[in-house]
Amino acid sequence: MHGRVKMRAQFTKTVMDIGEDEKVVLLVGDIGVWGLRHFKEKYPTRFYNIGICEQSMMSLSAGLAMAGLIPIIHSITPFVTERCFEQIKDDFCYQGLGGNIVSVGSCFDYAGLGCTHHCYSDIAIIRALPRTQIIYPASEIEFDLLMKQTYNNNKLTYFRLPQKKHSYKFSQDQIKFGKGIKVSEGKDITVIAAGPQLENVLKAKVDLENENIFPEIIYIHTIKPLDKDIIRNSAVKTKRVLTIEEHNILGGLADEVSRNLEDMGGVAISRMGVNDEFITDYGTYEEICKSIDLTPEGISKKIRMMVNE
Amino acid sequence: MRGAEEDLKKLRKDIIEMVYKSKEGHLPSAFSILELLFVLYGDFLKYNPRNPEDSNRDIFILSKGHGSQALYAVLAHYGFFERTNLFSFCKFDSPFGGHPDRNKVPGVEASTGSLGHGFPMALGMALAFKIQNKPNRVFVLIGDGESEEGTIWESTMLALNLNLDNLIVILDKNKSQYYAYDHNHVKIWKSFGWHTLEIKDGHNLNEIRNVFQEINKSEHDKPKIIVAHTTKGKGISFIENNREWHHRALNEEEYDKCMEELK
């Protein structure tokens, strides 16, 4: 739970900074009101708790953008993406307007609350809309820098904030919108990780290197637009690519990576994530990860299989 | 007034022409709102057709986007673009689609089509003007059928709570909704706490003007709605209130009949 508090706390800090831009308006769907109280105190005319009506909140935010303002729309992942998909499509993307959606509770973060509160299709649906950008940060510095780099670039930018973080420390100049980060050099397989799963990949790497398997690890915080070059340059070398994400294996990082490798012959591609099924168990985030092999052991096993094939 | 009646006949002919040539469009939905738009743009809305992006302008959003043909004809009439351009309606490279596109047509403020979007977008623009301390007003026209969408009611509650007294909704009660359910819109919106007015005959220019003037004079610290009773397909005898015509193309014989009635 600690991780969630940190990412949300970073959201409140980052919007305080961005709020200095008088065009920025923050709208929440009846969540985070306490955490964002300082924003409300400092910018009282630019904070709105719109209530539990995400579709209207989305269209209303598009109206603000039409009048030249920059909305930041905040709620829980399925409600601020799947529920108001048509509003994002028609009222932001088709109109040609810019805005920012910041969701919390990604994938199965709300493990015990069941499928209505899980969301493994958000990246797939938003990715399929023209004029969108998708940013999936899993440490505070990533969110802070990427939001500051993109919030006013007149695109619809979706920030997916996970509850958990990875512990890898990036330097400030490593974090650039649209650019992947090579976390470790390797030669046998390219492992492309998004979100908190970087942590499990790094743990898997220690065991694998003891077995003389050297994965090249690429971390992706910007799913769209994807850093095509970093992935292709690695795939040419290793000839094996594995994607790892907390999302349906259909429609997310895996598809975006595959799409960018489809003209390259001789590369074996595989994917790990939610296996196109509803996760109907409850329990904890860790228990659900384990049930779909998103653990250091599960990832090592998959990599061994691919390398030894 | 006689001049206005002639203008409206001309606009109806233009709309018939658009729909006949393209074999596309929603003729009856355009005819029910024609007088409302004619008076709104003629006497009440603040805008500059030579500078459609003028920052001092009032905003009009056609939330029931399928009535686009009336909006295009009225925008042309008031000088936003050449009238002759209208007749490319729904052709491959025309700016004038079956639903309006803000990025293609001067004077179109929001791209609409899917129902229940324009209303909350209008709230956003009205809120933006409040944030920016600007006096601009936002008018939005919705259909009675559209009023069944959930976002209409979310937004109805929201507009009141956000004190959007610069928002004026016009409801085109053309009774197409009667195919499903009828609702007492006046009673409902009053019960939500909105300043609610009614136009008994949404094709009577004097009555439309009087009610719009009342809005201008009112100092109610509330969002406003005008429920306008209209006739779907107004002006053509065989199309009026005839459900077959909601989305239908005209053949040559029907076209001739329409033009004969509009003589």
Domain with CATH 3.40.50.920 in chain A: 172-308
Query: How many domains is chain B partitioned into structurally?
Result: 1
Q: What ipTM goes with this model?
A: 0.95
Instruction: Give the closest-approach CA distance of A76 to chain B in angstroms.
Output: 18
The answer to whether the Cβ–Cβ distance between B110 and A95 falls below 8 Å is: yes
The secondary structure of residue A119, as a DSSP letter, is B
- pLDDT at site B77: 98
Is A171 in the B-facing interface, judged by CB distances under 8 Å?
Answer: no
Chain A residue numbers touching B116 (CB-CB < 8 A): 55
| Candidates 3.40.50.970, 3.30.460.30, 3.30.1050.10, 3.40.50.720; CATH matching A2-161 | 3.40.50.970
3-state secondary structure of A40: helix
Question: How many Cβ atoms from other residues are within 10 Å of residue B9's Cβ?
Answer: 14
Tens-digit pLDDT profile for residues A167-176:
999 999 999 9
What are the φ and ψ backbone dihedral angles of A280, each rounded to 5 degrees?
Answer: -95, 0
Instruction: Give the closest-approach CA distance of B44 to chain A in angstroms.
Output: 21
Tens-digit pLDDT profile for residues B92-134:
999 999 999 999 999 999 999 999 999 999 999 999 999 999 9
Q: How confident is the model at residue A309 (pLDDT cuts 50, 70, 90)?
A: confident
Which tokens is A150 given? Answer: 């993109």
CB B247 within 8 A of CB B232: no
User: Considering the entire predicted model, what is its pTM?
Assistant: 0.96
Tens-digit pLDDT profile for residues A185-236:
999 999 999 999 999 999 999 999 999 999 999 999 999 999 999 999 999 9
Chain B residue numbers touching A95 (CB-CB < 8 A): 102-103, 110-111
Is B110 in the A-facing interface, judged by CB distances under 8 Å?
Answer: yes
- pLDDT at site B177: 63
Choosing among A48, A59, A92, A154, which should be mutated to test the B contact, i.e. which has the most B CBs within 10 A? A59
Quick one: average pLDDT of B144-172? 96
CB B22 within 8 A of CB B90: yes
3-state secondary structure of A177: coil
Domain with CATH 3.40.50.970 in chain A: 2-161
Residue A2 CA to its chain's centroid (Å): 18
Measured between CA atoms, the residue of chain B closest to residue A59 is B121
Is B52 in the A-facing interface, judged by CB distances under 8 Å?
Answer: no
The answer to whether the Cβ–Cβ distance between A90 and B158 falls below 8 Å is: no
The answer to whether the Cβ–Cβ distance between A67 and B132 falls below 8 Å is: yes
Per cent of chain A over pLDDT 90 is 97
Distance CA A179, CA A174 (A): 9
Tell me the CATH number at B49.
3.40.50.970
Which residues span the domain enclosing B71? 2-261
With a CB cutoff of 8 Å and minimum separation 6, the contacts of B5 are none
User: Residue A103 pairs with which residues in a beta bridge?
Assistant: A75, A160
- pLDDT at site B216: 80
Answer yes or no: is pLDDT of B220 > 90: no
Tens-digit pLDDT profile for residues A229-258:
999 999 999 999 999 999 999 999 999 999
Quick one: average pLDDT of B185-203? 96
Quick one: average pLDDT of A34-53? 96
With a CB cutoff of 8 Å and minimum separation 6, the contacts of A8 are A32, A35, A104, A161
CB B198 within 8 A of CB B229: yes
CATH code of A172-308, in short, is 3.40.50.920
